[in-house]
Structure 1
């Protein structure tokens, strides 16, 4: 019908059905209005390809919203997988069990999520599935092996081989899609990082002793000179998975305190790398490469929650005596910056609201640059 409308003169009486769509659209217009205007009022130089592309994107978004409303889509499946593992000691027990047996229903859900990563899905759905796979693999050590058993991967374990399966022939994709495709294939592939995590028992993941524990090794891995962008992001994600387990925060001994200090120092460096200390608000520069802000936000939130638990076990007079206290203060202050609230909303809100009794917010006037889209 769209083709006919574009090729014949406009006749209001002959096209009442299409006209009603515009009447039933949202009062404030929206993308449907823009697309219909392009269809109903063609102007010189406008091509059909442009109209079809716009219409396709609108239909895709509407379909994704409808799927979510009916309990479909990758994120819904991912939430069900996450719910299976639970929290605290229940999560530890289920991750332990995963080393010896895979519950059929869990395997079924993992394979269902992997279907959403296939190129037969829309680019937007595929990208969301990529994000969910990265989140689950790094949050639940051992789950990667189940995803690799999906028949779509055909036994492939290298990043390049897996990446080739996700190519979208003759379909344009944006930088964000490319970023999450690469991060997903890096996460799923056989790598030193995966071996380092999966080679330990679950109870050993949070252990810090005289040698280097996993947390410290992941911190080193994030900063290794030969570590490229995606491996660094995977290390951040795995750190979140380890610190989400109860074991690390149950030990307030000397070694764990020093590791907590290293964590806070590393987060300060990371936050400065993404320029949360810059007094600028507004959209991220499109020329900037995509970045896994969600992974940093998750890790920051987990560290804050863990330290908040430690504070509750200490006398107020002993707060300032902790080896991690000074680096913690700088960490908190960076998360309270205006830019952090935009890039890392979860951890920024936690830093602002949950620690007022420990470190009250100090307000001061500063010049702030605000960027706007033209």
Structure 2
């Protein structure tokens, strides 16, 4: 293998290692509605609902599926538009069991928490429909006003119905204003429109955040009633850990921490394996290169040393002869002068 090929192989493995590292680091999800818990996440809080381990990836089937195939259409609760109704996370679907997870007073202020595991800028919106089988037209009639949020970096141009997650990946707490009506079974919709893709703005200028963007949604089943109901409803048949005094939120946080630790350990192990593979391959390539080059190099060195040694010996002999001749000449001159 020539030096040029070796350089090419090294560059290829470096590029492969870098791409694999980026892929591993991007394996995290994006976000989920955790307060009140969404239909896909209620199981994390002890509710007897089917577990959805991809509750952080309800992104309408993906950017290309949502926009290139269906012009931006999406299921109300984050499912792909082309799935048969009721879609998996809609009322009557696999995860749409109608489990009421929270109760609020009409016209009160509610605390919403959203967990982002991979922030893509953009904004949040929240809507409510007083019908468990919520359609987007009903949800659009009640867009909640955002009163406050943390952490936040507000701008003067921010809309009062949007919260802008500008602090990266974390849990955002938003204070929103509820409408002044009652419903035994309402649906709260979280809508997250990302803003990290390049597109054309309305003024014809291209910029990040303009044009089609990736979108995430989640639905939560709540109640707005004047009757006394604890805002944190107890789950049906709570797990044994909760009867020992551990709250659902504490358990959820513990599970999250453990899952994140396991995820990062897997990423580190993957990177170490990639490094080991690269080192082994490079060692094999280097060994093959040396097994071909070293004998040839040694033969060339032997020939060179033999030739150089011969030339050196000849040079010494010639120099010695010349020195003898010169010394004879110097000895002859005084004799001739004495004879004279």
Normalised-by-shorter TM-score class: under 0.3
Greater Cα radius of gyration, structure 1 or 2: 2
Higher normalized strand content (fraction of residues): 2
Question: Comparing both chains, which one has the higher relative contact order based on Cα–Cα distances under 8 Å and sequence gaps of 6 or more?
Answer: 2
Higher normalized helix content (fraction of residues): 1
TM-score scaled by structure 1?
A: 0.21
TM-score scaled by structure 2?
A: 0.22
